[in-house]
Structure 1
Amino acid sequence: MAQDFGLYSKFSPVARTSGQQTSSKRHRLVQAFIMMLVITNFIGINAYRIVQLQLFQGEYNRERADNNRIRLMPVAASRGTIYDRKGRILASNRLSRSVYLWPQEYTPTKWSELATELSLILDIPATDIINKLEATGYNSPLPVRITSNIDRSTFVALAEKASETRGVEVRTENIRHYPNGSLAAHLLGYTGEATKEELIANPKYPMGMIVGKMGIERSANSALEGVWGNRLIEVDAKGNEIQELGVENPTSGKPVTLTIDLDLQKAAEKALGNRRGAAVAINPKTGEVLAMASGPTFNPSIFAGKVTKEKWQRLQGASKPFLNRALQGYPPGSTFKAVTSVAALQSGKYSPNSKIATANSVTIGGITFNEHSGGYGLIGFRDALAYSSNTFYYKSAVKIGPEQISKWGRELGIGGSIDLKLLGLNGNHGQIPTPKEKEEIYGEGWHIADTVTMGIGQGLVLVTPLESSVMVSTIANGGYRVQPHLLASQTNTVTTKSIKTGLKPSTINTVREGLIDVVRKGTGRRLNDGSIPLSGGKTGTVELPGQADNAMYIGFAPAYNPEIAVAVAVEEGGYGSVGAAPIAKAIFDTYFGNQGK
C-alpha cells in the first residue's frame, strides 16, 4: 500500500497541477517586482532630470530656448548723405555684407575653436574675434559684428560654414561710400564702429553702431547717424529666419550740405599733386571754405572694411597722410610782409607815403642781414610788397617792435583769432610770439634778430594756410575778419558773422594796392596773363636749414570786388612764384570758368 501510495503521489494529476500553480505565481511576482523597479528607476531618472532642468538650470534653459526661437536683431540706420554747395554727393552709402556672431550659441572654449576656423576664411586674427566677443560678453543676446564689407570670394567661402554652424550670420547692410575716392578726405573724415568708451557715453547706441571718427563725419555725427531700429524674428535651430514677429523701423540720418565746391576741391588737389602741402580757398566776404586740400592724402573708404596692419602702418608713415596740413603752422615767409605792412601803418610810425631806403644788406645788432636780390633804393610800401624787399621790412620791423606785429597779426586772423570749432576739424593755430610769450614758451630771452626775422615771416612766426587765407581776405574785403566754416547752414548767421577790425581805410588801401602791384609788376606776374580777372597776391620763399625752400602764395580775385581768396603752402616747393603760385592760378582758373587754359 505504501508503494502504491508513492506511485500515486508521484503521478497523481492533482498533485502535479498544484505544484505548477505555485511556481507560476512565484514567477509572476518576480516579473512584477522587476517591472516595478524598472518603472520606478525610469520615473526617478526623469524626475531628477526635470528637477535639474527646472530648478537648477531653469532660468538658463528658458533663456536659451527663447534665444533659439526668438531673436532681437538691430537694424542699422542709413547715415545721412554729405553734399557739396551745389548738391553733388561727397559721401553716401552702399550695400555690403557683414559677418555677425551670436555669443550665446557656444561656450567660450567652443568659440575659441570656431574663431581659429573663421580667421582663416575672413583673414583676420582669431584674437580680434575673441576680443569682440569678450567685450560684448558671451551671455549677450545680441549679435556682434566682427567684420564688414567682405568681398564675394570670402562670402562664398563663408556661406558653407554659416549654413552648418549655429551662431554665424552674414548680413546685408549699408556702409559708407565716398564716390570721389580720396577727394577732400581730411574734411570728410571717415566712420567706424563705436568704441567701448563711445558706447558708454551714449547708452542708446547698439553694439556695432557706426559713428564718425574724423572730420565732418565726426563733427556732424549727431545729424548724420540717424536712429537704429529693431526686428523681432523667430528662427529655427540653425538660426534661419522663420517669421517676423515685430519691427521698429530705423530713422535715417539727416543730409548735410557743405560750403565746399567740388570743382574747386578737385582743381586744388590736382594742382597740389603728390607734394606735401596744402591749398585753401575761401569766400573773403562770408568765410565759406570753398576748398581745402592737403597732401598727401588717404582714401576714407578703406575704413568701411577691415584695416590691415599694413594699411594702418602706411597711414602712419613718414609722409603723414592723416595730417591736415591746411591747419598746421608753416613759416609764412614773404607772404607775412602784408602783416608787417599793416602793423607799421597802424602803429602811427609810418604813413602810406613813407619811404625806406633799401640796400644789398643791413647790419642790425651786430648781425648782417641780406637783401634777396640787391637793393631797390628809396621805396614805399606798395613797391616793397611788389618787389618783396627784405631790407625794407627788416628796418620797419625793428622800428615798430614785435608787440605791434603780433597784435595786428592776430587782428588779421593769425595765432588764435579764428574759431576752429566752427570747422569741426582737428588742427592748430599759428603763432606770432611777443618777447614775453617767447620766454614762457621756449624759456629763452628775446633777441633783436627775432624782431628782424619776424618782419619777413621767418624765425618764430608760424601761420597755417587757413589763417593766411583769412589774413589776405581781411585786407581784400575792407577790414573784416571772416570766420571760416564748412557747414552751409552756418553761412550768414550770428555764429559766423564777420568781425570788423581796427584797420584804417588808408592802411587797407595801401596794402591792398601793394598786393595788386605784386601781380601787376612784381613777383606774381604769372597770374596776370589775362585769363582771369586782375587779382592781388604775394609770393613767399621760405629758407629752411638742411632742406629745399618751402613755396608760399596768398591771393584774392577780382582785385576790387573779391569773390575768392586763396593760400598755398608747398613743402620743399622752391620759389613761391614757381611752386605755389601756379596752384593758386589753377584754383582761380576753375572758379572763373577757365579750366584747361
Structure 2
Amino acid sequence: MAKRRITMRNHSAEANLFARRTFIIFIGVLVLILVLFNNIYSLQVNSFEKYQTRSNSNRIKLLPVAPNRGLIYDRNGVILADNKPVYSLAVIPEQTDNLQENIDEISALLNISDDRKKSFFKSVKRKRRFKQIELHPRLSEQQVALFSVNQHKFPGVFVDARLKRYYPFGKLTTHNLGYVARINRKDANQLEIDGKSENYAATHGIGKLGIEKYYEDILHGTIGHQEVEVNSRGRVIRTLDYKPPTPGKDLTLTLDIELQMIAKRALAGKRGAVVAMDPRTGGILAMYSNPSYDGNLFVHGISTKNWNKIRNSKDLPLINRSVQGYPPASTVKPFLALTGLEEGVITPETRVWDPGWYQLKGLPNKYRDWKKWGHGWVDLNKAIEQSCNTYFFDLAFKLGITKISTMMERFGFGDYTGIDIHEESSAIMPSVAWKRARYNKSWYTGETLSVGIGQSYWTVTPLQLTQALTTLVNHGKRKVPHLLKSTKEPSRDPNVEEEVIYEEQAPLVLKNDEHWDLVLNAMHRTVQEIGATAHAPFKGAKYDASGKTGSAQVARIKQDEKYDAKTTKENQRDNAMFIAFAPYNAPEIVVSVAIENVAKGGGGTNAGPVARQIMDQYFGNREITSSYGSSTTDSDSIANHQHDHSPQQQKLSSDNAE
C-alpha cells in the first residue's frame, strides 16, 4: 500500500509574498498618481496661459469688419465716387423649415433665375446650415419692397445691406477715377507680397485703375474686428468686443466736373482727348478721353455681353487717349522756335523764302508746305502765325536732331509727366540713339525735317503737350500735373482738409530770358491777328487767348500723290491738334486738344473750337481786355481764314524719310 504525501501550505510565506506584491503595486500606483498630479500641475499652473489661449481661440473668434471706402469729390465739392447701399437676399438654411419650397416661392415672387437657384443650393451643400448664404446679389428697389411686404412668410430669409462703389457721372470720369472691382487671384497674391492681405480680410473690392488704384492705400482705410464667442460647432453665441474700422480718407481732386462735361459735349461723336490744367499749380482742371465707358459696370462684375461690347468696339473706349501718344504736328513749332533762338540758329528777324516747298541740296524730293504757292518771306512771328512748314524744315535742318531732341526732352517730351495715375504713356521723342536702339538703323536728314513739323517718329500725349505749354508760359518753371488736391478724415470737421504740396521739377533755364516772350508773343499773335491760323476759333472771346494749331499726318503718301480725306480710309485721315492758354499776360489755364481722323479741315477748324468751349466755361462772364483791342472782333474777310496747313498739302514723300 502506497504512501500519500501531503503538502502543507505555509501561510506565513504567502502572507509575506502578498504583502510584498501589494507594496510594489502601491508604489506603482503612487508613482502614477504623482506623475498624474505632476502633469495636472504642469497643465494647470506652468502651462496655464498657453492652454488658456488655445482654449480661447476655440471659443473666441475675431471676425474682420471692412472699413468704408473714402469718397472722392471734385474741386467744388461735387461727389465723383460714392458708396451706395446695395441690397442682397440672404438665407440661413437651418431657420427655414422647408428650404426647397421656400426658395421656389421666393424665386417666383422676385423673378430669380434658375441659375441663381442652382448656385445657391450648391453653396448650401458646402457651407454650414447656420451660416447665411446669398441667394440674390443685387436686388432692385422694387424687389426689396416686394419682399419686405412678404418677409413674414419666409423665416430665415432676409435682406442684407452693404456699401458698394458708385460713380454718379459714369463715363464722364472713368478714365480719371478708374473703378473698384472684385479682388481677383492676382490682386490677392500682390496683397500677400506687400503684407497687406490682413487689412483686406473682409474687403471684396480693390481699385483697378486711375485714382482708385493710385491712392488705394489712402482710400481703403483700416480693418476693424468683432470679437465673438462661439460654441463647438462654430455658432456665434454672443459678442464680446467690437473695434470699429477706420474709414478711408476722402479725396478732393483738382478736376472741375463742369469743365469735364463741356469737354464731353465738345467731343461728342469724335475720338480724341482734352486736357486742361492750371499752370500756376499743375492741377488738372479737366481730362477727358472720348469715347469712354461706365466704370459702374465693373463694380458688381461685368457681364460677358457688356465686356465684349466694350472690348470689341472699333473706337477703343478702354484707351485713355489723354495719356496716349499722337504725332504732335505743328503744335510743337513754338518749342522748336525757342530751340532755334536758344541755339543761336535764328533771330526774330531771320527770314526764310517759302515758295511752297523745301528741298535739300542734291536731292530731287520736295518737302511741301501746306500752302501750295508758299508764304513768301517768313520771319519768326509769321512762321508761327501761319504755321509755315518751310520755315521749320529749314530750322530743323540747321539744328539737327540731337539739339532738337535734347531741348524737347527738357520740356518733358518722351518721358512720363508724373501724374497720379498709372496708365500714362511716355510716348516717343526720337533721336539718333533711340532709332539705333529701336531699329538698329542710322538716322537720316529727311527724318530731321519731318521732326521739324512734329511728324516722323515723334509722338506726344495731350498731357505732355499741356505740361510743356505750362513750362513755356511759366518761363521755365516746371509743374507736376496732378489730380489730387487735398485729403480729409471723414470723422473730422468736413471743412478741414489737408492740402497736398507738390514740389516743382528742375526748371528749364535759358541763356536769354527774352526768348520766352518772343515765342509766347508769336502764339498770342496766332490767335489775335486776323488771318492767323488760330484766329477764327476765338473770334469774339472776352478773354485774351494765345494758341497754336496742328494737323497731324497719320498715313504716309508718296511724292506724287494727293491727300483727299473723302477717299481716304477713316483710320488713316489726319488728326487735329490744338494748344492754347489764357489770359496772355497772366495765364490761368492751358488746354490741349487732340481729335482723331477728322473728315476735313485742320487743327483750327476741328480742335480749336473745343479749346474755345473749355475756356468759355472756365472764364464764364469774366472779361479780360485783349492787348490787341478791336482785333478780337473779326471782320468778314476772316470767313475764308487759312487754317493750319491743309492735309493734302502737308503730306511728305515716303522717299523723303530717307
By the TM > 0.5 criterion, same fold? yes
1:197 to 178, 186, 189: 189
Matching residue within 328, 353, 356 for 2:352: 356
Structure-2 separation of matches of 1:475 and 1:185 = 30
Partner residue, 2:508: 501
**Match of residue 86, structure 2, among 81, 93, 96:** 96
Aligned to 2:542: 532
The farther-off stretch of 529-538 and 385-394 is: 529-538
Of residues 329-338 and 573-582 in structure 1, the stretch that sits farther from structure 2 once superposed is: 573-582
1:571 partnered with 2:596: yes
Specify the code of the residue in structure 1 equivalent to 2:614.
I
The 5 A counterparts of 1:20-39 are none
Deviates more, 1:152-161 or 1:545-554: 152-161
Deviation at 1:303, TM superposition (A): 2.2
**For the structure 1 residues 271 and 235, does the alpha-carbon distance in structure 2 shift closer, same or farther, using more than 3 Å as the test?**
farther
Correspondence 1:515 to 2:523 = yes
Aligned partner of 1:441 among 435, 438, 443 = 438
> Residue deviations 1:458-495, cap 9 Å, x none?
11110100011111122222222221111114999764
Q: Encode CA deviations 1:192-228: one digit per residue, 9 max, x unaligned.
A: 2222324534221114432211111111111111223
Do structure 1's residue 174 and structure 2's residue 167 form an aligned pair? no
Provide closer, same or farther for how the CA distance between residues 131 and 191 of structure 1 changes in structure 2, counting only shifts above 3 A. farther
Q: In 2, are the aligned partners of 1:121 and 1:157 still within 8 Å (CA)? A: no
Aligned to 2:581: 556
1:549–1:572 Cα contact (<8 Å) kept: yes
Does residue 213 (structure 1) correspond to residue 220 (structure 2)? The answer is: no
Check conservation: 2:259, 2:286, Cα contact below 8 A. yes
Q: Distance in 1 between matches of 2:595 and 2:203?
A: 40
For the residues of structure 1 that align with 2:378 and 2:413, how far apart are their CA atoms? 27
Q: Residues 362, 321 of structure 1: CA spacing in aligned structure 2 closer, same or farther, 3 A cutoff?
A: same
Aligned residue pair count: 516
Corresponding position: 1:326 with 2:322: yes
Aligned to 1:463: 460
| TM norm structure 1 | 0.77
**AA partner of residue 200 (structure 1):** E
CA distance in 1, matches of 2:118, 2:202: 19
Q: Give, in angstroms, the shift of residue 130 of structure 1.
A: 11
Which amino acid letter does the alignment assign opposite residue 372 of structure 1? Answer: W
Mark the CA change 1:370 to 1:131 in structure 2 (over 3 Å): closer, same or farther: farther
The answer to whether the 8 Å contact 1:73/1:143 transfers is no
Deviation at 1:244, TM superposition (A): 5.1
Q: Secondary structure of 2:533's match?
A: coil
TM-score between the two structures when normalised by the length of structure 2:
0.70
Larger Rg: 1
- Hey, what's the Cα distance between the residues in 1 that align with 2:431 and 2:132? 58
Q: How does 1:148-297 map to 2 (within 5 A)?
A: 148-152=137-141, 170-195=159-184, 196-201=188-193, 202-204=196-198, 205-231=200-226, 246-297=241-292
Amino acid at match of 2:218: A
Q: Which amino acid aligns with 2:197?
A: P
From 421, 424, 427, give the equivalent of 1:424: 421
In structure 1, the partner of 2:4 is: none
Secondary structure of 2:175's partner? Answer: helix
Q: Which residue of 1 aligns with 2:629?
A: none
- Asked whether the equivalents of residues 554 and 566 of structure 1 are also in contact (C-alpha less than 8 Å), the reply is yes
- TM-superposed CA distance for 1:432, in Å, is 1.6
Change (3 A) 1:512 1:143: farther
Percent of residue pairs bearing the same amino acid type: 31
Q: Secondary structure at the match of 1:409?
A: helix
The change in CA–CA distance for 1:331 and 1:164 in structure 2 (over 3 A counts) is: same
Residue 652 (structure 2) aligns with: none
| Structure 1 residues 501 and 131: CA distance shift in structure 2, 3 A | farther
Residue 80 (structure 1) aligns with: 70
Q: Which amino acid aligns with 2:544?
A: L
Q: What secondary structure sits across from 1:480 in the alignment?
A: coil
1:181 positional shift: 2.4
1:367 Cα deviation (Å)? 1.9
Q: Deviations over 1:263-313 (max 9, x none)?
A: 211211221123211000011122111110101111122223231101111
CA distance in 2, matches of 1:142, 1:199: 27
Paired letter, 1:368: K
Give 5+ residue unaligned stretches, structure 1: 1-65
Aligned Cα RMSD in Å? 4.0
Using the TM superposition, name which of 222-231 and 318-327 deviates more. 222-231
Q: Deviations over 1:401-433 (max 9, x none)?
A: 0111111111122111x443x412312012121
SS class of match (2:308): helix
User: CA separation in 1, counterparts of 2:255 and 2:128?
Assistant: 47
Match of 1:341 among 329, 337, 347: 337
Q: Which runs of 5+ in 2 are unaligned?
A: 1-55, 488-497, 556-568, 623-658
Per-residue CA deviations over 1:350-401 (Å, capped at 9, x if unaligned) read 1222222212112224321111113111211111000000111111101110
Q: Please say if residues 482 and 499 of structure 1, whose CA atoms lie closer than 8 Å, have aligned partners that are also in contact.
A: no
After superposition, the Cα gap between the structure-2 partners of 1:529 and 1:492, relative to the gap in structure 1 and judged at 3 Å, is: farther
Aligned residue identity for 2:370: H
**Is the Cα contact below 8 Å between 1:352 and 1:507 reproduced in 2?**
no
In 2, Cα distance between equivalents of 1:424 and 1:129? 39
Q: Counterparts of 1:212 and 1:140 in 2: how far apart (Å)?
A: 34
Instruction: String of CA shifts for 1:65-106, please: whole Å, max 9, x gaps.
Output: x99x9986544322111111122211111111146689999x
Matched, 1:592 2:619: yes
